[in-house]
Structure 1
Amino acid sequence: MKKKIIVAPLNWGLGHASRCVPIINALIKDNFTPIIASDGSSLEFLKQEFPYLETLHLPSYNIKYGKNLKKNLFLQLPTILRAIKEERKIIELFITKNSTVSGIISDNRFGVRSSIIPSIYITHQINILSGLTTFFTSRIHQNIIKKFDECWIPDNSNSEFSGKLSTSSRKLNQKFIGALSRFKREELEQSIAVLIILSGPEPNRTFLEEKLISAFKNDKRNVVFVLGKIEAVQKSWVINNCTFYNFLLSEELEHKINSSKVILCRSGYSSILDLAVLGKKVFFIPTKNQPEQEYLANYLEDTKLAPFSEVANFTSEKLKEVKFYKGLQVAKVEFDVALFSLFHSKRKL
């Protein structure tokens, strides 16, 4: 009987879920049976990507943020802690009832771990940036990481794309697993002038959508919007020069990106790795007051890989800056299935 592995991405935008796609594919290829555990859009996205896999619904962290991320997260802490406690119970009960479950891969879900089977934690943020409290938020996160058997960092060993986010002298059983992406590069005709990929929690996603629709409404180029709204039915429509999709699955989005001259998106880490694997020119608009995205945008601009703009200052003319930057580039390597060796061990008593 095949061993089952729980794969549980955090539902905060689609980045955590999308970077689990190559891991799920690698598990299937290595003769494991993945079980998808999440909530909200992340769960719906992976159900559409893998409609034949078993799923497990977990409680939502319901993370929202506005002008002050730290304040909002602090106010939401009781809700988040309740969700973590509840998901721990759900996972423990599921493992007890299913003797073939042999491992857990948690992408930033703190409560998805077990004391009787190997538990892996995926993050590119060993350090959590929070201004004056960075030391404390980073230490709290690192103490959570230490409760897992291993920490997988989706980056090269020199932290090429994550910078100081993934750098730590603490022993956290961390392993750099390379650029993690669901996509493959293909040389196609560059028929799309600008591909706009939206993602992230509300209301920020909608705010950016409205801003960019206004910015490109009179643009004469071929502009394509992928709105990142996971719904039951995939839809597309055209307004003036702009083509809109409510969402695209991996294969379709891969084709669109490979067919585009310039990508415009948030500076989310999964997006950065996807675009690096595809070797694209990109312009970033980081989510305001989200320190991770603001740091990554500044870091990639400083290394002359990609420019960025705050949403309030963005105009379509700013895309001309892209030609002065090298663009994102990294050689994709196949996911190393040797990382799954932990899952062949027997359950602890």
Structure 2
Amino acid sequence: MARQDHILFGVLNWGLGHATRSVPLIRALKDAGFKPVIASDGVALEYLQELFPELPTEELPAYGVRYSNGAFFLNMMMQLPRIGLAVYKERALAAKLLRKYDAKGMVSDNRLGFSNSSVPSAYITHQLNIPVSYPLVNTLHHRYINRFSECWVPDFEGENTIGGALTHTLKPEVPLTFIGALSQLEEQKEAQVEYDAVVILSGPEPQRSLLEKKLLNQLEQLKGNFLLVRGTLSKPDLKTKIPFKNLMVGEEIAQVINRSRLIISRSGYSSLMDYHVLRNKALLIPTPGQVEQEYLAESLMEKKLFYAVSQKKVSLAEDIPRALEYPGFHTNTGIAVDRTALFGLFKGERKS
């Protein structure tokens, strides 16, 4: 049997969004004859280990990003020293992993330090333009992006874009490729409706838990068949009559979404890519202080695709009927992308 070349695949642990959208690329690497080495931390690493028990995994330093209700810029500035230290450790560990596995390339989903000049590398991001009033934020991010060989953007170029200004207004210096929506889920056209609404939580604490508590209190006052997917492996301390699951993955979560009249979730980019594929309706509740989610929720509501409401103002009795009036991504637009062609980077077919 021919030896498989290893590709290091680093994934940011920021809820489950980066982990779920990495799944189709990890599978595509396997299909192309490579052996991915999954590197992450926390719930993202545990999720990918469950999906790919046959692949080697490594733990990376945690960025430990937390969101408060304060201003995004000040919040992130206060956390920069900790993130910077994690990136520094990550870069050193990446060099060790390259030697350990004799890897031929690296893929990083938003892990800033997961590259090395000795091998070709690709950086996956939809955040070419982070919507803040401080140019320094994007300047710093692009400085990291430009350390990679290429930048892969999970979006469609032009009018079918999901990310809008996030992906189309600033360009890095390195070659850029739009690779389409990344989702491991598939639409089930004949699925029977089982739930009136399913809540799917994700993202960093403490906001995940705060929204969980608020939505459960409101759901218990409503009539209907509901389900909560908590998006965490932490031990639940819930006293509720609403059925819940800690985590659901792959086909299981696709079945739940396909069988629900409405999904209630954050307006995270990875969730929106799933909705683009499944064409479901959703009530979007952006994470407070997360300017990207606030932008996406506002943008999609302006396009009359999804109904959105702030966490502070959410009232499910009123918001669920309103959200059902919005069609979602009712047409699966965008041009299919041959993702196996991306991996020519690791075969010497493109300059790194």
TM-score normalised to the size of structure 2? Answer: 0.92
The Cα offsets for residues 148-175 of structure 1, whole Å up to 9 and x where unpaired, read as 1111110101161101001135443111
Is this contact kept in 2: 1:238–1:244, CA < 8 A? no
Residue matched to 1:104: 106
Match for 2:80 among 69, 74, 77? 77
- Provide the identity percentage: 38
Q: 1:288 to 1:31 in 2, by over 3 A?
A: same
Q: Please list the CA deviations of residues 270-316 of structure 1 after superposition, one character each: whole Å capped at 9, or x if unmatched.
A: 00010110010111000111100000000000111001111121111
Label 1:32 to 1:238 Cα distance change in 2 as closer, same or farther (>3 A). Answer: farther
The verdict on how the C-alpha distance between 1:183 and 1:276 changes in structure 2, with shifts beyond 3 A counting, is: same
- DSSP-derived class of the 1:185 partner: coil
TM-superposition CA deviations, 1:3-58 (whole Å, max 9, x none): 11111111111101110011111111111111100111111111111112100111
Is 2:285–2:309's contact at 8 Å kept on the other side of the alignment? yes
Question: How far apart, CA to CA, are the structure 2 residues paired with 1:341 and 1:231?
Answer: 40
- 2:234 and 2:346 map into 1 onto residues whose CA distance is 34
* Cα deviation digits, residues 169-226 of structure 1 (max 9, x gap): 5443111001110101112001111011000111000000000001110222111100
1:1-349 pair list within 5 angstroms: 1-68=3-70, 69-99=72-102, 101-130=103-132, 132-133=133-134, 135-158=135-158, 160-168=161-169, 170=171, 171-187=173-189, 188-230=191-233, 239-240=240-241, 242-316=242-316, 317-329=318-330, 330-331=332-333, 333=336, 336-345=339-348
**Equivalent position amino acid for 2:26 in 1:** I
- SS of corresponding position for 1:20: helix
Q: Write out per-residue CA displacement over residues 313-349 of structure 1, whole angstroms, 9 at most, x where no aligned residue.
A: 1111211112432212425846521111111129x9x
Preserved CA contact (<8 Å) 2:180 2:337 = no
In structure 2, distance between residues paired with 1:128 and 1:334: 25
Partners of 2:107 and 2:169 in 1: CA distance: 21
Q: Structure 2, unaligned stretches of length 5 or more?
A: none
Q: Contact (CA 8 Å) 2:123, 2:151: kept in 1 or not?
A: yes
Q: Displacement, 1:239?
A: 4.5
Structure 1 residue runs without a partner (length 5+): none
State how far apart, in whole Å, the 2-side matches of 1:324 and 1:172 are. 42
Q: Which amino acid aligns with 1:251?
A: E
1:324–1:213 Cα change, 3 Å = same
CA contact (8 A) 1:7 1:34 kept: yes
Pair 1:67–1:231, CA change in 2 (3 A): closer
> Structure 2 CA distance, aligned partners of 1:231 and 1:43?
14
Partner SS, residue 325 of structure 1: coil
Bigger shift: residues 299-308 or 61-70: 61-70
Is the CA contact 1:183–1:277 (under 8 Å) kept in the aligned structure 2? Answer: yes
User: Does structure 1 conserve the Cα–Cα contact (< 8 Å) formed by 2:216 and 2:240?
Assistant: no
Q: Is the 8 A contact 1:282 1:328 kept in 2?
A: no
Distance 2:198 2:239 in 1: 14
Q: Which amino acid aligns with 2:292?
A: E
Kindly indicate whether the alpha-carbon contact (under 8 Å) linking 2:262 and 2:324 is maintained by their aligned counterparts in 1. Answer: no
Q: Is the 8 A contact 1:26 1:335 kept in 2?
A: no
- Give, as a single letter, the amino acid of the residue that structure 1 aligns with 2:308: F
Amino acid at match of 1:252: E
CA RMSD of aligned residues (A): 2.0
Separation of aligned partners in 1, 2:149 and 2:289: 32
**Which one is further off, 58-67 or 267-276?**
58-67
Change (3 A) 1:32 1:231: farther
* Matched position secondary structure for 2:112: coil
Cα pair distance change 1:102/1:269, threshold 3 Å: same
Q: What's the secondary structure of 1:192's corresponding residue?
A: coil
Q: Provide the C-alpha distance between the structure 1 equivalents of 2:325 and 2:253, rounded to a whole number of angstroms.
A: 26
Contact 2:179 2:337 in 1 (8 A): no
